[in-house]
C-alpha cells in the first residue's frame, strides 16, 4: 500500500482564539482538497498551542526560589526554568543549558517541550507551552472535521523532539484521535509461523516522524499535512496510552 | 512537496549470498518500476543481514563465563547473551529479560538488535545479527543501483527499535548512503527572523520511521520501499554521524 504525505500549503498564520478546524475546513474547500476515508490530519503542536492561548509573556513569570537555584546550576533563564518546572512532574537529568524532564503529559524530553522559535515575542521575550490536553484537542478537531466532511479521518498532533543517544530531532505524536496509536501484533505470527511475542508497532510516532519532516521545522509555513494510505484505524486510543509505565522505565 | 512511500511488492525471500542489488534491479525492471532522481531506496536490515550471512546457528555459540553469569541474572539464553556481548561495547541497563546495550555501531537499544523473528531456525534455534557495516552495505547497493539506472538515488537501511519512555517500536536508520542524514539548520532563521540555534533535523530516522511502517514488521513480505519526494540530498553523511558523542550523552 502506498502512503502519501500531502502538505496543505497557503494556510494563514494561526493566532490565539482562531477556530483552527473551521479555518482548515474553509481552506481545504477553497483549494478543492478532498479528504478521503482513512486520511490522517497531522497538525503541528505549535499551531494548536497558539490558538489555545499557550503563549506566555516572560515578564509575567515570577520564578520560584527552586527555579532560581536550578537556573543558576544549568545557566538558563529563571523564568523559562519556572515554566519548565510548572509543566513537568520530574527532572530526569540536568546539565548546562539542558533540563531533561518528564512532562506532565508523560513525555520525557528537553525543556518540557517549551519552545521559543516561530512565535511572536513580546519585549521581554515569550515562550510557547504544549497544549493543556493535546489528546482532547485532537478529538475536538477530529469531531469537527469528521462531521463537516462525513469522512472517517484521524487527527494527529505532532511535536519535534530530541532523543537520547541520537543527534537530530524527529517528530513524535503528542495527541491523537480516531486512529491506531499502538498496533499490537502480539499473538500473531511471523513469515515462518513463529509466534510474535513483543511486536507492538507505534504507528502514531512513525507517522508523526514523516509528517513532521514534510512540515519542515523552520520557515516552511506548513503546519498541517494529510497522511493518506496509512489507514487511520479509527480506534479510541490516545497518545497517553503510549507512555511506558513508570515501573517499566529503565531510565529513572 | 508531496512525499510518497511506494512499497516494492513481490520480491523473493532473500538468502545468504544473494545479490540483493541485482535481484532488486531485475525485479524493478520486470515490474516496470522506474526510479527517479531523489528517490531513496529504503531496505530492511533483516534482508541485508541475511544476504551478508549474519544468521548464526545457536548450537555453534559457546557462552563465556561472563555471558553465563549475566544470562542467569536477566533470565535469558546464555548463547543469545554471548552474541549480545560480542556485538556491543557497553551494557547500559539490565533487567529481567532485557539487556539495553550500546551496539558496536553506536546505537543504543535492546539486545544489540539481535532478532529471532522472520528467520529460518535450525534445530537449536538461530539469531540474526546486524550487518557488519551497514553504512558500507548501503554505499555498495547505492553504487550498484545508481550506475545501473543512471539515477541520483540514496539508500537507507532501516531497523525497528524500542525506545526509552515510549511504548511500541519505530523504524530508525542504521545505514545510509548518498542522502542527507542530519539536516543542519543552525544559522538559518525562523518565520519571525529569529536565528535558529539548535535545529538539526534527523532526516534519516524520520524517513526510516515511515518506511518501516510501510514495510510492516510481521508477515507483509515488503522488505524494500521507495521514498519519493523527500529528496535524497546526495551527501556523504553516514548514519555513524548521527550517534551522539559519548561526552554529550546524558544517560550514561
**Confidence bin at A189 (pLDDT 50/70/90):** low
Mean pLDDT across B212-219: 80
CB distance A171 to A159 below 8 Å: yes
> Under an 8 A CB cutoff, do B201 and A1 touch?
no
Q: A126-128 and A154-161: which strand pairing?
A: unpaired
- Cell numbers describing residue A207: 507517522
Residues of A in contact with B221 (CB under 8 A): 191
> Under an 8 A CB cutoff, do B219 and A190 touch?
yes
**Confidence bin at A11 (pLDDT 50/70/90):** very high
Mean pLDDT across A180-208: 80
* Domain A4-53+132-241, CATH class in plain words: alpha beta
Type and span of the H or E element at A183: strand A182-184
Mean pLDDT across A231-241: 90
* Domain boundaries, given as residue ranges, for chain B: 4-53+131-242, 55-128
Can you tell me which residue has the cell 531485475? Answer: B26
Question: Hey, which CATH number is domain A55-128, 3.90.79.10, 3.90.1660.10, 3.40.50.460, 3.30.70.270?
Answer: 3.90.1660.10
**Confidence bin at B173 (pLDDT 50/70/90):** very high
In chain A, the residue whose alpha carbon lies closest to the alpha carbon of B210 is: A206
Type and span of the H or E element at B171: strand B170-177
> Under an 8 A CB cutoff, do A168 and B191 touch?
no
> Under an 8 A CB cutoff, do A243 and B188 touch?
no
- Cell numbers describing residue B199: 535545529
Give the mean pLDDT of chain B: 91
Quick check: A196 pLDDT over 70?
no
Quick check: B4 pLDDT over 70?
yes
Burial B148-159 (b: 16+ CB within 10 A, else e): bbebbbbbbbbb
Cα–Cα distance, B173 to B178 (Å, whole number): 13
**Confidence bin at B224 (pLDDT 50/70/90):** very high
pLDDT for the residue B11: 93
The rounded Cα B132 to chain-centroid distance in angstroms is: 12
pLDDT for the residue B193: 65
> Under an 8 A CB cutoff, do A200 and B167 touch?
yes
pLDDT for the residue B19: 98
Quick check: A122 pLDDT over 80?
no
Give the mean pLDDT of chain A: 91
In chain A, the residue whose alpha carbon lies closest to the alpha carbon of B192 is: A118
CATH code for residues B4-53+131-242: 3.30.1330.100
Mean pLDDT across A180-200: 74
Quick check: A48 pLDDT over 70?
yes
Which residue in the set B13, B210, B242 is minimally distant from A166, CB to CB?
Answer: B242
**Confidence bin at A193 (pLDDT 50/70/90):** low
Alpha helices per DSSP H over B2-116: 20-30, 45-51, 65-74, 78-87
Which residue in the set B168, B206, B213 is minimally distant from A182, CB to CB?
Answer: B168
Mean pLDDT across A173-191: 86
> Under an 8 A CB cutoff, do B199 and A209 touch?
no
Residues of B in contact with A166 (CB under 8 A): 107, 172, 202, 205, 242-244
For the ranges A125-139, B104-118, B193-207, the one whose mean pLDDT is highest: A125-139
Residues of A in contact with B243 (CB under 8 A): 165-167
What are phi and psi for residue B239, nearest 5 degrees? -65, -25
Amino acid at each position: 500500500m502506498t502512503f502519501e504525505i500531502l502538505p496543505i500549503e497557503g494556510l494563514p498564520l494561526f493566532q490565539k482564539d482562531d477556530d483552527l478546524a473551521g479555518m482548515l475546513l474553509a481552506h481545504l474547500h477553497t483549494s478543492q482538497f478532498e479528504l478521503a476515508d482513512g486520511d490522517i490530519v497531522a497538525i503541528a503542536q505549535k499551531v494548536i498551542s497558539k490558538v489555545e492561548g499557550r503563549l506566555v509573556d516572560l515578564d509575567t513569570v515570577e520564578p520560584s526560589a527552586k527555579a532560581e537555584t536550578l537556573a543558576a546550576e544549568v545557566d538558563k533563564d529563571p523564568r523559562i526554568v519556572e515554566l519548565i518546572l510548572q509543566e513537568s512532574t520530574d527532572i530526569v537529568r540536568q546539565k548546562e543549558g539542558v533540563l531533561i524532564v518528564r512532562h506532565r503529559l508523560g513525555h520525557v524530553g528537553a525543556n518540557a517541550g517549551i519552545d521559543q522559535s516561530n512565535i511572536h515575542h513580546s519585549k521581554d521575550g515569550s515562550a510557547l507551552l504544549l497544549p493543556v490536553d493535546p489528546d482532547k484537542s485532537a478529538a475536538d478537531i477530529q469531531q469537527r472535521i469528521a462531521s463537516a466532511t462525513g469522512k472517517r479521518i484521524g487527527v494527529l498532533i505532532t511535536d519535534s523532539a530530541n532523543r537520547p543517544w541520537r543527534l537530530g530531532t524527529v517528530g513524535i505524536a503528542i495527541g491523537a484521535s480516531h486512529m491506531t496509536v499502538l498496533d499490537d501484533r502480539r499473538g500473531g505470527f511471523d513469515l515462518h509461523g513463529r509466534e510474535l511475542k513483543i511486536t507492538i508497532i507505534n504507528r502514531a510516532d512513525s507517522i508523526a516522524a514523516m509528517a513532521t519532516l514534510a512540515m519542515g521545522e523552520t520557515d516552511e509555513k506548513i503546519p498541517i499535512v494529510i497522511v493518506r494510505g496509512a489507514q487511520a484505524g479509527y480506534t479510541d486510543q490516545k497518545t497517553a496510552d503510549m507512555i511506558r509505565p513508570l515501573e517499566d522505565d529503565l531510565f529513572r
